[in-house]
């Protein structure tokens, strides 16, 4: 009889439950691919007595992580419990004992990826983390393998399902932010602390991973300029739609020559751009390669079964490597030393909504500030504000560097005629 591959599962929440369902439900398909049964031997949970959505042999459950990490028969650890410091300790210990690791944990990989991959290399182990970015979309394998021949110059991602769900519902149904966030939490999309979703940190962690792989450079979380969606108003979304844009929380990683920039921010995306039509909990990653041109990858970015699909695909890859005796050969450690773009080197269009005094000469003073810092304007629209005596001015710039735009905004702070800068968005497409 063929020896089964034994798996220790850390976590039986949303993703862990999906992993059990897929490993059990697709067992014969998996076995026919890898040539041996895959058995989930032990499962780490916080509370063994908790009611579970699936039926599990209680003997398999443990609250002691070391029972799994030190288990002599377990070959692969599948980490879907989340957390950073303790979890990192379990993974490093598992690797030092020669166990391979599959993880869905972007927080861990974005912050400690290099250390974990180095440990894996030292012990000839696999560490695969496909589910850590964009749930069910196989984007990590695509960047490592599919684009190995090309030079990627831009990656744009809707990589957080919770915020995309919120923005889509606000745009399509005029729903209120707080109500939709609650729904996303109930559906299992949001992180246990949803602040990391709405303030852009979850997306920033995912963009750190994508930029590292796409540009083959040592991008760190601190290199990502992050802004979340909590300041996006229904008014902004309405203006965007009226001008032919959708507001999306976009991760944008760009490379020009050897210089890179990575950011996450609410962005106005032209409705004709394919990424503008990605709605709900769906994610998409747009990749531009110098040779291939435009590509886009689309799918469910969160949720039980889509995420578990990526986790189990990694598990299959580990077991195939075990059969071939090639584990630990694919860890990407040859990163280039990054060179970050300065604000003078980061260029894009911008949208601005200003409330200003409604009197002669105001528009001229405002456009003068743009001229002074060499920011060229694509369109300017002025309309009376129905609720007060101020006028609203909507401006879309041509491509302008970020430093110059900051200087224009600083100049507005000192102008008595500018009552408020209601919103500023980067514009794409
Ligand atoms: P979850 O529903 O909160 O489940 C976490 C599981 O881990 C639970 O079973 C919990 O035990 C167990 N656990 C947590 N801390 C533990 C500890 N200190 N000791 C023992 N057991 C512990 O989380 P999830 O949504 O499945 O997410 C898991 C991981 O996948 C996270 O890294 C997340 O970022 C990532 N991810 C999630 C999604 C998604 O759609 N949810 C998508 C992509 C990636 P109890 O059941 O006893 O509480
Ligand atoms: N909270 C994350 C999201 C889960 O909303 O995309 C998937 O990583």
Tell me which of 10, 15, 311 to substitute to probe ligand 1's pocket, judged by most ligand atoms within 8 Å of the beta carbon: 15
Ligand 2, atom 8, lies closest to the CA of 302
Residue found by looking up tokens 């739609």 in the block: 241
Q: 286 C-alpha to center of ligand 1: Å?
A: 28
What pLDDT, in 10s, does the model give residues 272-290?
Answer: 999 999 999 899 999 999 9
Which is the closest atom of ligand 2 to the Cα of 162?
5
What pLDDT, in 10s, does the model give residues 166-210?
Answer: 999 999 998 888 888 888 888 878 877 889 999 999 999 999 999
Which whole number is the average pLDDT over 77-95? Answer: 97
Alpha-carbon distances of 359 from 293, 341, 362, 372, 419, rounded to whole Å: 48, 40, 6, 22, 13
Q: Catalytic residue numbers?
A: 206
Q: Which domains occur in the chain, in start order?
A: 5-135+304-324 (3.40.50.720), 139-300 (3.30.360.10), 347-428 (3.30.70.260)
Which whole number is the average pLDDT over 294-302? Answer: 95
- The predicted structure's pLDDT at residue 185: 85
As annotated, the binding site for NADP(+) includes 10-17
Q: 88 C-alpha to center of ligand 1: Å?
A: 14
What pLDDT, in 10s, does the model give residues 337-392?
Answer: 899 999 999 999 999 999 999 889 999 999 999 999 999 999 998 876 666 778 99
- What percent of the chain has a predicted confidence (pLDDT) above 70? 98
- Ligand having the closest approach to the CA of 282: 2
Which is the closest atom of ligand 1 to the Cα of 81?
7
Q: 395 C-alpha to center of ligand 1: Å?
A: 44
Strand order in the sheet with 100-103: 61-62, 38-44, 5-10, 76-79, 100-103, 127-128
What pLDDT, in 10s, does the model give residues 299-335?
Answer: 999 889 999 999 999 999 999 999 999 999 876 556 7
Q: 263 C-alpha to center of ligand 2: Å?
A: 17
Which is the closest atom of ligand 1 to the Cα of 301?
42
Ligand 2, atom 1, lies closest to the CA of 190
The response to whether residue 14 sits with its C-beta less than 6 Å from ligand 1 reads yes
Q: Average model confidence (pLDDT) for the chain?
A: 94
pTM listed for this prediction: 0.95
Which whole number is the average pLDDT over 215-234? Answer: 94
Q: 83 C-alpha to center of ligand 1: Å?
A: 8
Tell me which of 80, 81, 107, 162 to substitute to probe ligand 2's pocket, judged by most ligand atoms within 8 Å of the beta carbon: 162
CA distance 293 to 317: 29
- Ligand having the closest approach to the CA of 44: 1
The response to whether residue 44 sits with its C-beta less than 6 Å from ligand 1 reads yes
pLDDT at 413 over 70: yes
In three state form, how does the secondary structure of the chain look? Answer: CCCCEEEEEECCCHHHHHHHHHHHHCHHHHHHHHCCCEEEEEEECCCCCCCCCCCCCHHHEECCHHHHHCCCCCCEEEECCCCCHHHHHHHHHHHHCCCEEEECCHHHHHHHHHHHHHHHHHCCCCEECHHHCCCCCCHHHHHHHHCCCCCEEEEEEECCHHHHHHHHHHHHHCCCHHHHHHHHHHCCCCCCCCHHHHCCHHHHHHHHHHHHHHHCECCCHHHEEECCCCCCCHHHHHHHHHCCEEEEEEEEEEEECCEEEEEEEEEEEECCCHHHHCCCCEEEEEEEECCCEEEEEEEECCCHHHHHHHHHHHHHHHHHHHHHCCCCCCCCCCCECCEECCHHHCEEEEEEEEEEECCCCHHHHHHHHHHHCCCCEEEEEEEECCCCCEEEEEEEECCEEHHHHHHHHHHHHCCCCEEEEEEEEEEEC
- The predicted structure's pLDDT at residue 379: 92
- The predicted structure's pLDDT at residue 332: 57
Which is the closest atom of ligand 2 to the Cα of 191?
1
The response to whether residue 52 sits with its C-beta less than 6 Å from ligand 1 reads no
- The predicted structure's pLDDT at residue 303: 87
The response to whether residue 331 sits with its C-beta less than 6 Å from ligand 2 reads no
- The predicted structure's pLDDT at residue 178: 85
The response to whether residue 14 sits with its C-beta less than 6 Å from ligand 2 reads no
């Amino acid at each position: 009889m063929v020896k089964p591959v034994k798996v220790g599962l850390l976590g039986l929440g949303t993703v862990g439950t999906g992993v059990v369902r897929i490993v059990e439900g697709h067992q014969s398909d998996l076995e026919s691919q890898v040539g041996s049964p895959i058995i989930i031997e032990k499962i780490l949970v916080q509370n063994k007595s908790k009611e579970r959505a699936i039926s599990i042999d209680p003997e398999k459950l443990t609250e002691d992580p070391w029972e799994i990490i030190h288990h002599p028969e377990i070959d692969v650890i599948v980490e879907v419990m989340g957390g950073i410091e303790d979890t990192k300790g379990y993974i490093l210990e598992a690797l030092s004992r020669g166990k391979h690791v599959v993880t869905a944990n972007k927080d861990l990989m974005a912050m400690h990826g290099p250390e974990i991959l180095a440990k894996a290399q030292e012990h000839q182990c696999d560490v695969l983390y496909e589910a850590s970015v964009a749930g069910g979309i196989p984007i990590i394998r695509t960047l490592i393998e599919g684009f190995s021949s090309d030079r990627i110059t831009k990656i744009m991602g809707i990589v957080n399902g919770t915020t995309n769900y919120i923005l889509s519902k606000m745009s399509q149904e005029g729903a209120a932010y707080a109500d939709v966030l609650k729904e996303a939490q109930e559906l299992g999309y949001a992180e246990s602390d949803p602040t990391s979703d709405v303030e852009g940190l979850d997306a920033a962690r995912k963009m750190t991973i994508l930029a590292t792989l796409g540009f083959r450079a040592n991008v760190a979380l601190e290199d990502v300029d992050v802004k979340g969606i909590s300041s996006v108003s229904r008014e902004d979304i309405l203006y965007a739609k009226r001008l032919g844009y959708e507001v999306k929380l976009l991760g944008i990683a760009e490379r020009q020559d050897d210089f890179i920039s990575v950011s996450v921010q609410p962005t106005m995306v032209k409705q004709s751009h394919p990424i503008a039509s990605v709605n709900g909990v769906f994610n998409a990653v747009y990749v531009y390669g110098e040779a291939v041109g435009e590509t886009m990858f689309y799918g469910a970015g969160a949720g039980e079964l889509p995420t578990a699909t990526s986790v189990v695909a990694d598990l299959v890859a580990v077991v195939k490597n075990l059969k071939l005796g090639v584990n630990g050969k694919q860890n990407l450690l040859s990163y280039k030393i990054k060179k970050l773009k300065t604000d003078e080197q980061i260029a894009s269009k911008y949208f601005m909504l200003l409330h200003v005094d409604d009197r002669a000469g105001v528009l001229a003073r405002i456009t003068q500030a743009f001229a002074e810092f060499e920011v060229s304007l694509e369109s300017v629209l002025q309309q009376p504000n129905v609720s007060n005596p101020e006028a609203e001015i909507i401006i879309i710039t041509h491509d302008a560097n970020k430093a110059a735009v900051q200087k224009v905004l600083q100049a507005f702070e000192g102008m008595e005629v500018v009552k408020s800068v209601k919103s500023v968005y980067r514009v794409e497409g």
